C-alpha cells in the first residue's frame, strides 16, 4: 500500500491522455492515487512546458497547438481517461465573459474531437464556476449536450478547494466527470466535504527572510502608506485592489488568478512576523494550490510566468480525491457497452439538477420519430407514482438554470 491506497502495477494502471496540461496539476492529482499513469500530455505554452518537463521528465509532452494534434499522435494502445482543463479565460469574469465568441472558446470542441476519436472510458474536465451560468446557461448546455450525445453519462459539481481539498484557498471550480458505461456512472460519487485543517502558516512562511523583490517599501511603492494603514495582522491575507486594500475575511488565500504578477499587484499580500509587508512567492502560490513541497519551479522563467502558471492550475488534493472516486467507479464497471444508437435523428436526454452547480445527465433513448420519444416519457410517467417528469424546451431549460432550481426533466434534441 502506498499513501493509504492499494498500489497497482504499471501495466494495470488506467492510462491517461491529458490536454491543456499547464504544469501538470491534474495529472499530478490522478497519479497520486497510484491508480493512473499519464501516457500523453499536450500543452502549447512554452513556459509551462519548461515547468512540466522539469517535474514529469518521463511523460510524452506534445507542445503543439491542439488544433493540429491528431488522435493518432497519441501512441498508447488504449486511453482509459482523457482529462483537461481547457483555458478558462473565455468563461471567467477576468475574460469578460465572451465564452464561445472568444477565440479560445473553440478549444472545448478540439478536446471533444479527440474524445470522439479515442472514446476513453472516462473524461474529466475542470473549469471556472462561471462557465455554468455563462451566456444565460447556453455555454454549459452546449458542453453538456456535446458530451451526452457522444455517449457519456455525466455528472458535474462546483467544489471549493477549501471545503473539499483541505487547502486554504477560496477556489470554486466546476468538475465534469463522464463515463461511457452506465455502471461506472452509477458507481461514481463526488467526494464529501472535509474539515479545513491546513493553515495559512502551513503553506506560507511568515517568519523566513525572502528576497527583497517580494517586499513592499515606502521608497519602492507609492501606495505604501495605504498598505501600511490597512495591513495589520499576520493571521490573514490581503490584496491591493488598485485603489484600496482588501482583507480576505474568510482567513484563506483569495482565488489565485492567471494575471498575478502581470501588473496591478494582484499577488496576495501578507504581514510577516517581523511586521514587513510582502507578496507571496511563486512557491507559496503553488503551495496554495496543494502542490507537494518537492514540486520544482525552474530558475530560468520570469516570476510573472510562474505566478501565471500557479493561477491557471488546479487544487491538486481535490483532483486527487475526485480521481480516486473515478478509479473506484471504473473498477466497479461491468464493461457493458452502451447499446443506444446515438446516430438516430432524435435524442431523449435525462437531466437531474440540484441547482445549476450540481447535476447529472445522459441519453435515455433515441428514435427516428420524435413522437416515439414523447410516448416513452408518457409511459414512464404513468409507471411512476411521483410527480411526472416534464419535457423541457430550450427556453424552459434556460429559465430553469437561470432560477437555480432543483428538479428532474427530459429534453428532446434534434441530432444534427
Question: Taking the model in full, what pTM does it have?
Answer: 0.93
Alpha helices in 149-214 (DSSP H): 161-164, 182-187, 200-203
In the block, which residue shows the cell 505566478? 307
Q: Can you give the pLDDT at residue 76?
A: 81
pLDDT per residue as tens digits for the range 85-135: 987 555 544 444 455 555 555 788 899 999 999 999 999 999 999 888 888
Residue 3: pLDDT over 50: no
Neighbours of 30 (CB within 10 A): 29
Q: Can you give the pLDDT at residue 336?
A: 78
The share of the chain scoring above pLDDT 70, in percent, equals 93
pLDDT per residue as tens digits for the range 352-389: 999 999 999 999 999 999 999 999 999 999 988 778 99
The three-state (H, E, C) secondary structure of 101-143, written as one string? HCHHHHHHHHHHHHHHHHCCCEEEEEEEHHHCCHHHHHHHHHH
* Dihedral sign from CA coordinates of 190, 196, 202, 205: positive
Residue 54: pLDDT over 70: yes
Cβ contacts of 162 within 8 Å, gap of 6 or more: 168, 169, 170, 171, 196, 250, 252
Q: Which of 88, 180, 267, 353 is catalytic?
A: 88
Cβ contacts of 4 within 8 Å, gap of 6 or more: none
Q: What is the mean pLDDT of residues 23-41?
A: 97
pLDDT band at 265 (very low <50, low <70, confident <90, very high): low
pLDDT per residue as tens digits for the range 304-347: 999 999 999 999 999 999 999 999 999 999 877 778 999 999 99
Cα-based angle 233, 237, 243 (whole degrees, multiple of 5): 95
Cβ contacts of 139 within 8 Å, gap of 6 or more: 91, 99, 100, 131
| Phi/psi of residue 340, nearest 5 degrees | -75, 130
The question of whether 43 is a catalytic residue gets the answer no
If one compares 60 and 280, the residue with the highest pLDDT of the two is: 280
Taking phi first (over 0 means left), then psi (-120 to 50 degrees means alpha), and beta for anything else, what does residue 404 get? left
Distance CA 161, CA 178 (A): 21
Residue 173: pLDDT over 80: yes
Distance CA 118, CA 19 (A): 13
Distance CA 324, CA 25 (A): 15
Amino acid at each position: 500500500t502506498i499513501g493509504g491506497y492499494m498500489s497497482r502495477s504499471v501495466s494495470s494502471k488506467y492510462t491517461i491522455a491529458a490536454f491543456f496540461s499547464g504544469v501538470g496539476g491534474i495529472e499530478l492529482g490522478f497519479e497520486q492515487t497510484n491508480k493512473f499513469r499519464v501516457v500523453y500530455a499536450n500543452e502549447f505554452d512554452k513556459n509551462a512546458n519548461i515547468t512540466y518537463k522539469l517535474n514529469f521528465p518521463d511523460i510524452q509532452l506534445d507542445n503543439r497547438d491542439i488544433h493540429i494534434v491528431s488522435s493518432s499522435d497519441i501512441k498508447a494502445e488504449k486511453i482509459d481517461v482523457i482529462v483537461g482543463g481547457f483555458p478558462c479565460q473565455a468563461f471567467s469574469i477576468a475574460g469578460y465573459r465572451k465564452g464561445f465568441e472568444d477565440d479560445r472558446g473553440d478549444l472545448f470542441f478540439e478536446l471533444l474531437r479527440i474524445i470522439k476519436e479515442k472514446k476513453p472510458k472516462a473524461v474529466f474536465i475542470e473549469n471556472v464556476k462561471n462557465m455554468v451560468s455563462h451566456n444565460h446557461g447556453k455555454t454549459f448546455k452546449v458542453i453538456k449536450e456535446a458530451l451526452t450525445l457522444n455517449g457519456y453519462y455525466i455528472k458535474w459539481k462546483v467544489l471549493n478547494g477549501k471545503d473539499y481539498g483541505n487547502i486554504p484557498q477560496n477556489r470554486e471550480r466546476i468538475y465534469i466527470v463522464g463515463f461511457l458505461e452506465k455502471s461506472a456512472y452509477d458507481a461514481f460519487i463526488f467526494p464529501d466535504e472535509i474539515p479545513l485543517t491546513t493553515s495559512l502558516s502551513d503553506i506560507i512562511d511568515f517568519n523566513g527572510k525572502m528576497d527583497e523583490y517580494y517586499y513592499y517599501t515606502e521608497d519602492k511603492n507609492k501606495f505604501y502608506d495605504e498598505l501600511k494603514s490597512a495591513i495589520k495582522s499576520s493571521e490573514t491575507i490581503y490584496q491591493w485592489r488598485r485603489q484600496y486594500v482588501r482583507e480576505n475575511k474568510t482567513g484563506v488565500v483569495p482565488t489565485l488568478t492567471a494575471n498575478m504578477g502581470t501588473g496591478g499587484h494582484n499577488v496576495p499580500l501578507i504581514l510577516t512576523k517581523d511586521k514587513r509587508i510582502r507578496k507571496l512567492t511563486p512557491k507559496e502560490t503553488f503551495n496554495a494550490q496543494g502542490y507537494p513541497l518537492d514540486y520544482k519551479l525552474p530558475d530560468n522563467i520570469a516570476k510573472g510566468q510562474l505566478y501565471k502558471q500557479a493561477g491557471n492550475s488546479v487544487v491538486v488534493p481535490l483532483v486527487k480525491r475526485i480521481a480516486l472516486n473515478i478509479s473506484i467507479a471504473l473498477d466497479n464497471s461491468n464493461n457493458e457497452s452502451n447499446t443506444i444508437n446515438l446516430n438516430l435523428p432524435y435524442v431523449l436526454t435525462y437531466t437531474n439538477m440540484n441547482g445549476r452547480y450540481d447535476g447529472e445527465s445522459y441519453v435515455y433513448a433515441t428514435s427516428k420519430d420524435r413522437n416515439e420519444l414523447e410516448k416513452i416519457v408518457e409511459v414512464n410517467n404513468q409507471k411512476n407514482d411521483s410527480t411526472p417528469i416534464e419535457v423541457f424546451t430550450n427556453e424552459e431549460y434556460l429559465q430553469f438554470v437561470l432560477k437555480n432550481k432543483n428538479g428532474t426533466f427530459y429534453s428532446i434534441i434534434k441530432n444534427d
